[in-house]
Amino acid sequence: MSLTCMKSCFFLPFLLLFSLSFKAHPCRGSDTIFPGQSLSGNQTIRSDDGGTFELGFFTPGNSRNYYIGIWYGRLPTKTVVWVANRDQPLSDPSSSTLQLSHDGRLVLLNQSKTEIWSTDVNSTTPDSTIAVLLDDGNLVVRGGTNSSSVVYWQSFDHPTDT
């Protein structure tokens, strides 16, 4: 039995359980970063369809450079589809954070709390602005949980060629 097959045979039941439990107990926040929350280390958010897309820190190959990216959450090998801080890698994801700033931008801070990357548009509703990873892999920063809230920034407008 190939390693890939063993992996998928092993993981498939868990994936099914995972998506079922998602349907049964829709857990708010798993696809969203809310004001006051942050991602660090191996924490991720996953699209609400059971995790087709996942966002978090990753390191390509054996490098010690860390990036915030979006990858296919259900593939055994990490296939990155979007990268935020392409030109400014981080060295320590556990003390770096992706969070919403007080002016309603999504910002990536390094160990010294210096902004390494951010969405460039100020929101007019900073206190309710959230970041959501949508089922199509688009990361949006928008004015609230309502899906018709105004979108201030979206990763689809900032493609990267991975």
Ligand X SMILES: *[C@@H]1O[C@H](CO)[C@@H](O)[C@H](O)[C@H]1NC(C)=O
> Which residues would be at the binding site for ligand X (CB under 6 A)?
41-42, 91, 103, 110-112, 114, 116, 120, 122, 146, 148
110 CB-near residues (< 8 Å, 6+ apart): 90, 92, 96, 116
Beta carbon nearer to ligand X, 104 or 137 = 104
Q: Which residue, 47 or 110, has its beta carbon nearer to ligand X?
A: 110
Residue 110 CB, nearest distance to ligand X (Å)? Answer: 4
Residue type at position 112: S
Q: Smallest gap, in angstroms, from Cβ of residue 123 to ligand X? A: 9
| Smallest separation (angstroms) from ligand X to the CB of 100 | 13
Q: Which is nearer to ligand X, 61 or 161 (CB)?
A: 61
Among residues 2 and 72, whose Cβ is nearest to ligand X? 72
